[in-house]
Structure 1
Amino acid sequence: MAPTIPAEDIAADDLQTLAATITSLDLIITVDTMVAHLAGALAAPVWTMLHRGCDWRWPDTGRETIWYPTMKLFHQKTAGDWTNVMDEVIQELKLFKPAVATLKSDLKEISV
């Protein structure tokens, strides 16, 4: 039996709460939304799932983006079919090791 992976709906009524939640998590997995951009801007680990033919911001292939160094991209190979994206995310998730803050100065604080 596969291990259970905790997932959380991080919806919030304001950006400050959402930003605080994002920085408290080990990883954000999302589609191309404001959450992806906020997580990237906060330098939080974020995996963004992109549909085939996504907009100009994202490269057509590859895992990296020039906009957010802590973001990993997952591209649809076929429009409307998320199978390859989910398979790739699952494989990467099996290998994922959360970063560990070793010093108090490594911990992120945000104030908005």
Structure 2
Amino acid sequence: MKEPSKFMREPEQPALIRLSFTVGGKEFQIERTQLANKAGSAKLIDIQSGHVLASTHALVTKYVERPMGLSADFLQRIVYMSEGDVFRFMNQASLAGPLSQQFATSLA
């Protein structure tokens, strides 16, 4: 995003994004901040223990990609696809195995 401040309601205040998810029965939370002119902080937290597992954008991304077996680029592409395109994309033979394992579904 070239000018994040245009999308922020109050550009002088950092935006905070929290995402909670479960992988393999473990619960995690990602917290990221976005400043008007640059990326802010990032951290990955193990919800059960409260431990911070990663505290930079690169480490959080790397830590999340590993258990999911999917890259950040792949997930971002899916978010911006129309519904029909997502199903066609996910049904590609090279993706069917990893995706069906992650999402506990059959893509056939």
Class of the TM-score when normalised by the shorter of the 2 chains: under 0.3
Greater gyration radius: 2
Hey, which of these two has a bigger chunk of helix by percent? 2
Compute the TM-score of the two structures, normalised by the length of structure 1: 0.26
Normalization by structure 2: what TM-score?
0.26
Report the structure, 1 or 2, having the larger strand content. 2
